Structure 1
Amino acid sequence: MATADSSGDILSQKDDELCCEPCLNDGQSRNVEGFCMECNEYLCHLCLDVHRKLRMLKTHHVKRGEDIPVQKPNQYPEEISCSFHTDEKITSYCQSHQQLCCDQCVILGHKVCIGLKHIGDFFKEFSESKDFQTDFENLKSLQSTYTGKMNEAKRSLEEVDLYYNNTMETFKAELDKIKIADIEKLRAIVTSYECVLCQLTAWLQEIDTCSKNKQNRELAIHMLRIKREAAAIKDNVQMLCTDDSIVRYGFTTDKTSLLRLVKAPYLVKAIDIKHKSDEKTCTIADIALLRENLIFITDNNNSSLKLFDTDLDTLVSYVKLPYEPWQISVTGKGEAYVALYGLPKILHFKLPATDLTTFSVINLDAKFYAVECFIKTLKVPCLSPARIIEVDGNGKLVGVVNSDLSKEATEKGEQFVINPCWSTQDPANGSMYLSCDRKNSITEITTDGKVKLIVKSDKLDSPQGFCMDTDGSFLVCSINGDVFRSPATDLTMFREIEVDGKCYTVECFNKTLKVQCMSPIKTIEVDGDGKQVRVINNDLRKETTGNGVQFILTPQWSTQDPANGSMYISCNSKQSITEIKSNDNVVTLLVKSDKLNCPHDMCMDIDGSILVCSYYSKDVFRMKKNEDIQSVIQKPLDFNPQAVALDKPTKKLYVGGQSDKIHVFQI
């Protein structure tokens, strides 16, 4: 009887004859006539017939005669199973697909493959193959590479503390510089105030002693001396202690580094002008600067006048009037004249104009809204009829500059002044300028009475109060909430240019206007006369990402790179910012991110980053070309921002929107 040893690899029997293993398992002993490489079994002639007949076994490789191995090959584990047919053993290797196969795999997918080998032959040849040698060398190379990487990582691990300590020391040194500078500056300011307060205390004690002892001679001498010295002290304090701010700094994340230490932006000023006696919401009709840090305000809605110290944020003086104050005119000497809304009266505040309860009333026989003062003479634009008169400081008529402004007309016979309710003045030559909300015009009246139309444009949209800047341009309030700045003293340079499309944004580069239109959404170029030069893009809605996603639908805000003329467009409905290059008109999506959260107006900083208003986030973001988006203000605004502008030299950021105030941030 043949017996199988524990390993199953060698089969023995009497006279060293081999027996059929399937039959031996059934208790029968038959001579071996073949060996199946796939089944790894010795077979008799009956079992060989079964191998030839069964479809599943037809492809098996059978060794016969002298090829029958005396000892079973053990080139792979018997337990190896097919990854596709888990009940089947691996029997073959397909060289075409480089795949180990079971019988099912061969029948279903590899019958016609070239290079189908028995698994035993494949294993035997594998160690000598070129593929094996290449793969083996690749593994050795990986081993060598990763060993080097691991050693490098170990060295870095050992140096972590060293780099950490060095970095923290460098970082702390920079922070210490800021801290020390702030401390030294503020200590000097505190010391100055301590010295001043010590001196004031000593003076007050001297005055108190003289008063109690009725030393009138000494009291008078002390007061005269103290008055002079106090004025000098006040000037010195103003000069030495003005800047009591500190450098605000904080951390911000950055894709290119761990953290960045930045000077934190902050709101410079937001003055609350409401007085406890005010019953209504304040409506500021006019603001005048009497001197540095002292502003004069007319509150039309509460019929009051207010004087504020913007340094101390304190109300210096307040007066309630029986009528509505409107416009203010301040002389070079600091006197102030206030026009009253629709009344034939002017309030005159004499030197020094710091006590609003002290004034004289000048009665005029006319209905007027505005007043200007030039060389001790008051110019008053009156209504019914619209005329300009001159009166002296007592209200006595000096002359009539123009008896009826409504008769003034353009070359086409169009009226341009019928309701002159607001005025300003050129302090250099005394020319008076009037805005007319009904004719959308601004008019100049020279000192010799000549009337000149400066501008008449629907763009002004009912112009209201206005003032003159140092460069001779005007800042004009429009009733729709806009403030226009004229480019020069001659506002006739404003023209209306008709374009073929509903225009939302415009940028100027090299004397050419780039206009972003709606319906259809196209970008065109026109020259200075409005003549179309070319169409940059006929329909931006067709622009899509590589995945076919649209990224422009409502382009209502834009900005421009002054260096190369590239135009940048924000789309609030697609949360995107797009660049349109000037030279080749290529449209490039810069960023499309929900973080923008309804982007509105934009402006560009000197480093090429873009500052953009996020309407729904109530924030202003800085967007860099690497798609890094960071907030530039410390906390969300209390209104929805729509407009933003940056004063690049001073780094002051102006943010406006659905709010009664313009917020100014130092960034």
Structure 2
Amino acid sequence: METGSHVKPNACVEKSNYSNEPHLDASQNKTFLTDQHETCIDGCTTTVIPPACPTAMGSSDCTSHCDLCKVDELQVEAVGFCINCTDFLCRNCLLNHTKIKVTRSHTILQGENLPTDPEPIIAVRNLVKCDIHPEYDIKFVCAEHSTTICAMCLTDQHRMCTFQKISELKEDYRRKEATVKANLLDVHQRIKEFKLNREKYIGIIEAQQKQVISEAQGIAQQLIEKIVTLTTKVEDTVNGHLDKETTTTKESLRDADNLLQEVKHITDLFEAAQKYGGLDECILASRHIDHKVKEIFRKISLLESHEDKHISLEKNVQLYKLDTICYVTLLGTKQKPGKENASDEVMEQLQMNERDDSKLNITTSECGTSCDLSVLMCNKEVQTLDTDAQSTSEATLVKSPDQSNPHLCKRPFIDRTVLNAFTCKISTANDSLNCFITAIVILDNGKTLIADRNNKKIKLLSNDFVVLEEYSLSGCPIDMCVADQSVYVCCLKEKKLSRFLIFGDGRLIPASGYLSRYWPVGLSPFDDKLLILCFKLDGLFDTVRGERVVVEIRNKSKLDASLTGQYNDDSDDHDYLEYAKRILTVDSNSILVAEHERVSCYGIDQAEVEIGKRKWYYKNHGQTILKNARGVSLDKEGNAYICGEASTNVHQVPCNNYLKGKIIIENINKPFSVCVDSANDILIVGCCNDNYLHVFNFQ
């Protein structure tokens, strides 16, 4: 027997139909009553259970109990739900609810409209209540503090603020309603696609595992007993890589499941607001959901930024020196990025970050499916292909070194050319001007950091050069570097350095910088310290005009050394350091300085007060035109790369013979910054007033 039901006395006769008591008019009190109780002449009440639960309830257990009767430890079946009070009500409590003056105007749901899950409705109501004064509803938006407030908040703390009534945001809500719906559908679809691709990725690497182990076993059959032991080691290594990647991928799948639950929750909230909420509830729910969707977009973008790997084998054919039969590596392939968002207007940002398909041809559905298995049979010592040692079947599996393993059989950088791989859009919806990239830095985690002069910000890019975060600055950044686990930035017309700490996942946290004596225009790491090129006067950085310069070596805010240049008015002398606009550390004893129509290598000694003598220089001559030398970078072999802004080209200068410099990129519009990623064999160039980053592959 259920708690709260009554046993009828003998005088009571059960009825098989509902009573004829008339329904309450919905137009008068917003209630919809369906009689589900019978009243005997002695006053007892019995519950008449309908033969089947309403379809709208969608649950096998569709009986709710009165929340008010639960206070008296009674379990009475509910026949109504008050949206305003967010309580289930039994028949008696419901009738009292409609008679009391305070609750007479409340909206009641009953019958097929009775909700099976009241949580979305409760959540909508909680959005309306003020956090500081729960007894009051939110009625205003404070423009100065960007927060919602009630009438009591307005009186107590926001009397002098500019505010707006929630009801006045009706047009803004109607304009964003379709956007919120579209974003919910979009993020749901993206998570499903991500899960599908992750599951496919697991299948791919499992197939590669079997193939690699099979090939390793095939090689082991031709060798002595020692080779069998080494084969087992190879299998363990492959399985270790597989376990690592599978574990990581499954964790990302679990994260995706959690995001789906978040999407379902806010979707239910949105639908509840649309179906049951008033204008205020809809507006506040829309604002809340818009914030949540942006956060989900950020989380799924982080999940999508994981770099897929592929497993490969490299055979060692020098058996008399055998200490292993294969090199098993887990190499990453560039993952195809999905849409990412970091702006206030989600849909606008998604459209702004859409890449040019004619240049990239990358879609989200391709994400994580580009893993490839390659087996290289290679002489261990000289690292060149040993074609004589390959069988016909083995030769069909061999790919070129550039395709299979970037660390094998590579020519020196100075003997290679570059090919324009793709361009990446780096402008965002928050940018008011075209981008002007003055500095490019590759972080340890593979992400890229760029300085955007026109929009006064630095931007963090993913491994696939998609904008993840933006950081606003007080001035126009002109150079940037990483030193002592921090990012340092100098801006035009500012006697200070801005500093950011590098977070674990690559994000930046603003930290305290420090003031400088002069005007910093160039930065470079110097061991664990910072090398700063400064103007003594606030000159015009963009003009071709001489400036007295100072090179400072700083250990955080401490000045370790201050070096000045040697100047000579003799026109035949080459020491015109006053034209310097960029500085780069070569080693602990040398620096590179970009000086308008040349780049020079100078000696440097912290114990001295002057910059040392020039060791060599590369300048504009003949057909090799270099004008307005700006960005400077080095590859891992020490070769220098210089941007000629006015000559619209990029030069490459050998580390061992500066007389044989050449133009490696020509006819590129006003290149201003350059960065070499030697690990991935790419050259990255940023230009003036250009919304794209130009990425080149070394060939």
TM-score, normalization: structure 2?
A: 0.31
- Bigger helix share: 2
The structure showing larger relative contact order (alpha-carbon pairs under 8 Å, at least 6 residues apart) is: 2
TM-score, normalization: structure 1?
A: 0.32
- Bigger strand share: 1
Name the larger-Rg structure. 1
